[in-house]
């Protein structure tokens, strides 16, 4: 294997920014898929616009639960491959990559079948207005038909990220994102489709980005070449991947499950609030992608440097990510709030929808610096292979607080603002818990002592 790149050598501030910014752009483009769905159905489906927006918005936490759980599991692949790259072990890196792709294919089809079976009971439990349920179900069934390619793309992207390459997944997504917007407009405006049109467009565009990355891996356009004949699951590598990935997936699952409960409370407040919350979510998540890219950078940089035995660079990676991520997050929040109302009007021009959506933005952003700290410190621990502790902290501080809030505090004053207050409270608690865990665990301490003694 070639000499490790700037992940393990050279200036960390420059390397982390160079890694994180394309990753942030990739995440933002992925979110634009959903934002384009919401905007197109909100603006071009006439009187049904708000109901269509509500249908797509009601899908967001449920689809997030399914997809993000397995995307989190792909972090196990990222860490294992990055560690092998840091150790200069070409055999282990290749084995982990082939195992990851094989696992993604199997999991994608199994998940597709389970999602279709669970669709109707899940949506009937969400307290949606009657006119929204059929459209929400239609969008969901079509969207999850693309789960195999969605999972495959994310595991392919994890392979690129683990080697320090975040630009290639960005380029693939830029192309598919452009196609997604064109298909949205063509199917909804040209062929008069509603939520089914935007769902089909999203599935097709995801398939395109998946094929592009797969082709590049097969052609050896990255440090790890994919050979279809060698696609199989190595039990040893799968065990390593899942040891990190399953707790990370569980962490994401409980996070999303708590958000589904919150979404059900939002749904009880009517179509306008659902539509407004959906539109605002599609803006706030752009800021999330910005700081989450620094969390993923932390995981990759710690994983490679831990493999290379450079413990000091692991710590430095976390602190630099916190500083650079904080600056980037502040800028993105200022930009979104500054243009928030005009952008919300692109989704739907109802003044009530715009005002409620802007209220959500303000309340959510008040919690985002806590969220950034939580994500980056969690990524730091995961880079060392510590994945169970962050999952436990998330279950207690996020899931526990949010569920308790919705069932016991929200009924006392059933308003939208009362629901939103749970975000800063739960995220601040989680950030404090994660920092305390990092201080107590002090990962890499044994290796640091050995290096000092030498």
Write a three-state SS string for 223-290.
CCCCCHHHCCCCHHHHHHHHHHHHHHHHHHHHHHHHHHHHHHHHHCCCHHHHHHHHHHHHHHHHHHHH
For residue 75, the Cα-to-chain-centroid distance in whole angstroms is 11
Contact predicate 53/267, CB 8 Å: no
Q: Which residues, at least 6 apart from 243, have a Cβ–Cβ distance to it below 8 Å? A: 76, 385, 387
Give dist(CA 142, CA 187) in Å, integer.
14
Decide: 160 and 166 in contact? Cβ < 8 Å: yes
Mean pLDDT of 229-234: 91
- Are 141 and 116 contacting, i.e. CB atoms less than 8 angstroms apart? yes
Confidence (pLDDT) at 448:
61
Euclidean distance between CA atoms 122 and 171, whole angstroms: 35
Q: Is 434 helix (H, G, I), strand (E, B) or coil?
A: helix
Report yes or no: 71 and 293 within 8 Å, Cβ to Cβ.
no
**pLDDT tens digit string along 334-388?**
999 999 999 999 888 899 999 999 999 999 999 999 999 999 999 999 999 999 9
Burial (0-12, 13-18, 19+ Cβ within 10 Å), 445: exposed
| 126 phi, psi to nearest 5 deg | -95, 10
Average pLDDT value for residue range 295-299: 94
Of residues 191 and 13, more confidently modeled: 13
**CA–CA dist 140, 156 (Å, integer):** 24
Q: What mean pLDDT is predicted for residues 93-118?
A: 93
What pLDDT, in 10s, does the model give residues 74-95?
A: 888 989 998 998 888 889 999 9
Residue that is written with structure tokens 């290796």 in the block? 447
CB 294 within 8 A of CB 371: no
Taking the complete model, does pTM exceed 0.85, yes or no?
A: no
Residue 3 has pLDDT above 50, yes or no: no
Pull the structure tokens for residue 15.
């390397």
C-beta separation of 398 from 314 below 8 A: no
Contact 345, 275 (CB under 8 A): no
Q: Pseudo-torsion of CA 77, 156, 374, 241, nearest 10°? A: -10
Instruction: Give the Cα separation of 340 and 334 in Å (integer).
Output: 10
d(CA 445, CA 454): 14
User: What DSSP line would sit under 392-409, residue for residue?
Assistant: HHHIIIIIIHHHHIIIII
CA 390 to CA 402: how far, in whole Å? 17
* DSSP assignment of 356-403: HHHHHHHHHHTTHHHHHHHHHHHHHHHHTT--HHHHHHHIIIIIIHHH
With 0-12 / 13-18 / 19 or more C-beta atoms within 10 angstroms meaning exposed / middle / buried, residue 256 is: buried
CA 65 – CA 254 distance, rounded (Å): 8
Region of residue 303 (phi > 0: left; psi between -120 and 50: alpha; otherwise: beta): alpha
Residue 27's pLDDT band (boundaries 50, 70, 90)?
confident
The 10 Å Cβ neighbour count of residue 107 is 17
Q: How far apart are CA 451 and CA 454, in angstroms?
A: 5
* CB 325, CB 290: distance < 8 Å: yes
Position 259 pLDDT exceeds 90 = no
Instruction: Decide if pLDDT at 47 tops 70.
Output: no
The pLDDT of residue 97 is above 80: yes
Query: How does residue 451 score in pLDDT terms, banded at 50, 70 and 90?
Result: very low
Q: How far apart are CA 206 and CA 169, in angstroms?
A: 12
Neighbours of 229 (CB within 10 A): 6
Under 8 Å between Cβ of 449 and 395: no
């Amino acid at each position: 294997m070639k000499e490790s790149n700037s992940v393990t050598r050279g200036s960390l501030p420059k390397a982390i920014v160079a890694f994180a910014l394309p990753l942030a752009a990739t995440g933002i483009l992925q979110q634009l898929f959903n934002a384009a769905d919401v905007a197109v159905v909100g603006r071009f489906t006439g009187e049904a616009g708000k109901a269509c927006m509500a249908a797509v918005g009601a899908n967001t936490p449920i689809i997030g639960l399914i997809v993000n759980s397995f995307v989190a599991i792909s972090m196990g692949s990222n860490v294992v491959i990055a560690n092998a790259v840091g150790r200069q072990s070409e055999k282990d890196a290749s084995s982990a990559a082939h195992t990851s792709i094989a696992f993604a294919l199997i999991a994608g089809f199994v998940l597709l079948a389970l999602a279709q079976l669970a669709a109707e009971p899940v949506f009937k439990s969400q307290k949606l207005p009657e006119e929204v349920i059929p459209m929400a179900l239609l969008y969901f069934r079509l969207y999850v038909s693309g789960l195999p390619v969605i999972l495959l793309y994310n595991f392919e992207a994890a392979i690129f990220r683990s080697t320090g390459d975040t630009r290639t997944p960005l380029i693939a997504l830029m192309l598919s994102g452009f196609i997604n917007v064109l298909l949205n407009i063509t199917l909804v405006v040209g062929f008069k489709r509603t939520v089914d049109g935007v769902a089909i467009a999203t599935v097709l565009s995801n398939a395109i980005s998946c094929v592009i990355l797969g082709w590049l891996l097969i052609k050896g356009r990255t440090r790890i070449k994919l050979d279809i004949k060698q696609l199989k699951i190595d039990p040893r590598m799968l065990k390593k991947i899942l040891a990190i990935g399953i707790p990370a997936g569980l962490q994401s699952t409980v996070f999303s499950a708590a958000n589904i409960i919150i979404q059900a409370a939002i749904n009880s407040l009517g179509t306008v609030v659902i539509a407004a919350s959906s539109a605002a979510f599609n803006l706030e998540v752009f800021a999330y992608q910005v700081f989450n890219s620094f969390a993923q950078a932390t995981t990759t940089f710690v994983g490679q440097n831990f493999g290379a035995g450079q413990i000091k660079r692991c710590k430095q990676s976390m602190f630099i990510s916190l500083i650079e991520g904080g600056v980037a997050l502040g800028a993105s929040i200022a930009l979104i709030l500054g243009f928030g109302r005009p952008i919300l009007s692109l989704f739907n021009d109802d003044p009530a929808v715009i005002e409620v959506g802007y209220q959500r933005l303000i309340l959510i952003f008040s919690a985002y610096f806590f969220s950034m700290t939580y994500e980056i410190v969690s990524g730091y621990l995961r880079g060392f292979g510590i994945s169970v502790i962050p999952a436990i902290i998330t279950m207690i501080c996020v899931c526990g607080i949010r569920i308790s809030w919705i069932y016991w505090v929200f009924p006392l004053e059933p308003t939208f603002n009362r629901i939103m207050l749970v975000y800063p409270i739960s995220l601040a608690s989680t950030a404090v818990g994660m920092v305390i865990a990092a201080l107590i665990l002090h990962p890499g301490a044994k290796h640091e002592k050995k290096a000092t003694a030498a």
